[in-house]
Chain A
């Protein structure tokens, strides 16, 4: 069950002119959170903006004794609400509702987990990486962005000793082009090796066209692929029906499906990509 906390801002680390990592004191949410879940943040105390904004839980913060202290979110300034969050200073307070949504299901060894992140789509993968490491599941991060300077927070994964494959559109770090290029090369090598012990499960979060491209690659190689979708969201609780995505049910029939309570994590093969990524 989600809780709503009037969370104090612990800190707000600006990574660039657009990105910041906002830390919130929210021990109850930090305790209950599972990988891939999100919170709804009220970005102002008043009526403008009125609605909350959804954010993946980026990191779980802990006290020195290991007990959960709070969470961080990876914020990209794109509008009024995210702009207010970017400007926030320690000591400010933010209404924080969560944890919400269907979490990632961490793969179990001997399967490998490959996390594929595009830009701010990195957000749900720190908690997933920690869950995978705790299970002893081998994992790799594929991390793509426009330019090297847009590849924020890779150091978190380096500290966790997660192998990282980079790509940038301008070639300034890792391979040049989209992240699907090195991803497909690795998958092809694995598929041709034919070793059944090398099963791979993919987890994807990023811009919709990128998620579609990764879902296509996964389908070509018959690999399970979970995507974390984000739509314009009104309530996060299933009340408003604004955040729907086109997803197939068990019979294969497509329906407008709420990404807040039936997602944000979906099996990519359920998504009608022609509709979502038109």
Chain B
């Protein structure tokens, strides 16, 4: 059985990637999880400089999901390369570095620095974090902005370039198209849904940042729909995510059109989820006599639906 999939020029052993912001810098999990057994590790979003992020409370639980407003706390790209990347190399992790900027120049500078660093396999362009005003969301919510930042970074890096799209737009497929036109190798979606929760006793917002991003199984059907819509709109590989917690969820995203997936919130609940997902994928392939998992991408069958029963 072949579980490998390709994201542009990058071939990964299976479609399971740890989602950015949900797996630290990967090294936190290195003793518990064989990092080389994953399809990849998308590390926590990095700016050029270190950032402290928002004051707590940074998360709050909601029905079958959670809100977060961490505020992209991070050690900055230079410390990442010095302190974290060597261990990720040693552990043979496939490293997706998620980068964040406030200007196009910052994204370009980050991509340049990372393209020269040994052990970086792909760049995920964070233009979708809902929790910081000055961040790339301004690019991610504008079609010309998305096109401009993707093409500028494209010019300076040979690494697979994967803009991460926000679901907080009217038509996410048009953003996938803008990314494709600008030379992206793939797109990843969805980032979290802008949301909020209020303590009615105190009338205070439950997050210090007032609003945050909703993730977890609660958002999965919306994310699946968005992956499906993007699949119709672009030829690029799609990395799907949003509430994946079981092998069935992985398969659902793939059948909707994803080439690979990312798992985030479910990793918080179960850090040992990866082998369970892999086992589930293999058992499905066995049951359905599927030799290559990648054959499932976009394999949704919309033909066997009822014709209209009653014409209006």
A190 on interface, CB distance cutoff 8 Å: no
Q: Out of B22, B55, B57, name the residue touching A239 (CB < 8 Å).
A: B22
Q: Which of A44-52, A136-144, A173-181 contacts B (4 or more CB under 8 A)?
A: A44-52
| A240-B217 CB under 8 A given contacts A51-B268, A97-B271, A261-B28 | no
Shortest Cβ distance from B31 into A: residue: A1
- What number of A residues sit within 8 Å (CB to CB) of B? 28
Chain A residues in 8 Å Cβ range of B73: 241, 244, 256
Flag A31-49 by CB within 8 Å of B: 1 or 0 each. 0000000000010000111
Flag A48-79 by CB within 8 Å of B: 1 or 0 each. 11111000000000000000000000000000
B22 lies within 8 A of A50 (CB)? no
A234 on interface, CB distance cutoff 8 Å: yes
- What number of B residues sit within 8 Å (CB to CB) of A? 35
CA distance A52 to B59 in the complex (A): 13
CA distance A256 to B70 in the complex (A): 11
CA distance A95 to B29 in the complex (A): 19
B40 on interface, CB distance cutoff 8 Å: no
A267 on interface, CB distance cutoff 8 Å: no
A240 lies within 8 A of B22 (CB)? yes
Q: How far is the CB of B86 from chain A (nearest CB, A)?
A: 18
| A239-B24 CB under 8 A given contacts A4-B270, A50-B265 | yes
A residues touching B (Cβ–Cβ < 8 Å)? 1-2, 4, 42, 47-52, 95, 97, 231-232, 234-235, 237-244, 255-256, 261, 275
B residues touching A (Cβ–Cβ < 8 Å)? 21-24, 28-29, 31-32, 44, 52-53, 55-61, 63-66, 68, 70, 73, 216-217, 245, 265, 267-272
Q: Can you identify 18 A-B contacts, CB atoms within 8 angstroms? A: A42-B269, A47-B64, A49-B61, A50-B61, A50-B217, A50-B269, A51-B268, A51-B269, A234-B66, A234-B268, A235-B269, A237-B28, A237-B268, A240-B22, A242-B58, A242-B70, A243-B56, A255-B52
CB-CB nearest 7 A-B residue pairs: A238-B28, A235-B268, A47-B64, A242-B59, A242-B58, A1-B31, A239-B24
